[in-house]
Amino acid sequence: MVEIPVYAFTGFLDSGKTKFIQETLEDERFNAGERTLLLVFEEGEEEFDFSTYPHKNVYMEVLDQETVTTKDLAALVKKHKPERIVAELNGMQLVGDLYMKFPKEWVVAQEVMFADSTTIMAYNANMRNLVMDKLTGAQMVVFNRLEKGQDTMPFHKLARAASRQIDILYDYTDGSTAFDDIEDPLPFDVNASVVTIEDDDYALWFRDVTEDPEKYNGKTVEFKAQVAMLRRDKNGMFAPGRFIMTCCVEDIQFCGLPCKWQDAKSLKPRSWVKVRAAVSAETHYLYQGDVGPVLTGISVESAAPAVEEVCTF
């Protein structure tokens, strides 16, 4: 099977996606003659100008992101025989819903979100689930149409609420750009002999340890959590965790980590415990073959519930 890389560009209408794709396809460093399938799932005021491309092996298809099927996408591959795919996604649709329809040989090579600085906060206030959907999966977010000297902290906080690893680029109206350089000190000491996680910091720590498990490899952590049992590891393992809300009530989910503990079967599901454990970065079926944090319990003691059962970033 020959994999086809997909370059996905997300964001809301009039956020600058079309302009960026147009300029990218005009650049011979990117468009060196590869057969490119340009999928447009959202049509705005700007249009693509194929006459400016250094090579003409670009084929555009306009599709409905909600109704398109895997069969439709596979047919386009047979029709155009692309070496790569550039996709402009519809901002009002969930990114993951489209990815689920991708043929198995399609591999997302890069996902970039574009955000109009004059409107993104309004979108976040009214449609936070759609904003977080795009920020969570993107490798980079571009906040454009900023005035020079404008306070970037609100945009920094918005991006960091979704991911600590996403690159943040500010695009100013005078034509200059700058990468975000604001430091985000963690509210806990990762170099302490025991990394102690306060109740209010669990969501932030969970994201940090799952995004960068190697950073915690060999460290000892202590935190309060609720007990969840693992279906495939009922004896000798459980999953301490907390309910986390990223943006709204609808997206609350239990976020736990696999923990080796010889008396796991004696623990009561949903009960509160204080866990002290050693962290190792290794594969586990919960991570679907990838490396993630796996705990080895040092002590597991009954604890009073956290003041807030659901934690947030």
- Which of the residues in the chain have pLDDT under 70? 234, 247-250
List pLDDT tens digits, range 71-127.
Answer: 999 999 999 999 999 999 999 999 999 999 999 999 999 999 999 999 999 999 999
Exposed, middle or buried, 276 (CB in 10 Å: 0-12/13-18/19+)? middle
| 36, 84 Cβ separation under 8 angstroms | yes
Q: Which residue has the tokens 């809300």?
A: 245
Structure-block tokens of residue 230 = 């693992």
112 Cβ contact partners less than 8 Å away, ≥ 6 residues apart: 7, 8, 9, 10, 20, 138, 139, 140, 141, 142
Predicted TM-score of the model (pTM): 0.71
Beta carbons of 188 and 195 less than 8 angstroms apart? yes
E strand or H helix at 189: none
CA distances from 115 to 10, 15, 66, 85, 145 (A): 9, 5, 22, 22, 9
Considering only CA atoms, which of 227, 103, 109, 111 is closest in space to residue 167?
111
> DSSP for 48-87?
--GGG-SS--EEEEE--TTT--HHHHHHHHHHH--SEEEE
User: How high is the pLDDT of residue 44?
Assistant: 79
CB 220 within 8 A of CB 194: yes
**Within a 10 A sphere around the Cβ of 140, how many other Cβ atoms?**
15
Positive or negative, the CA dihedral 143, 149, 151, 153 is positive
Cα 88 from chain centroid? Answer: 18
Residue among 244, 213, 3 nearest 102 (CA): 3
Q: Which residue has the tokens 């996604």?
A: 89
Alpha carbon distance 293, 258 (integer Å): 8
- Cβ 18 vs Cβ 44: under 8 Å: yes
Query: How many angstroms separate the CA atoms of 50 and 59, rounded?
Result: 9
Let me know: does 13 contact 32? Beta carbons within 8 Å. no
Query: For position 251, what pLDDT does the model report?
Result: 75
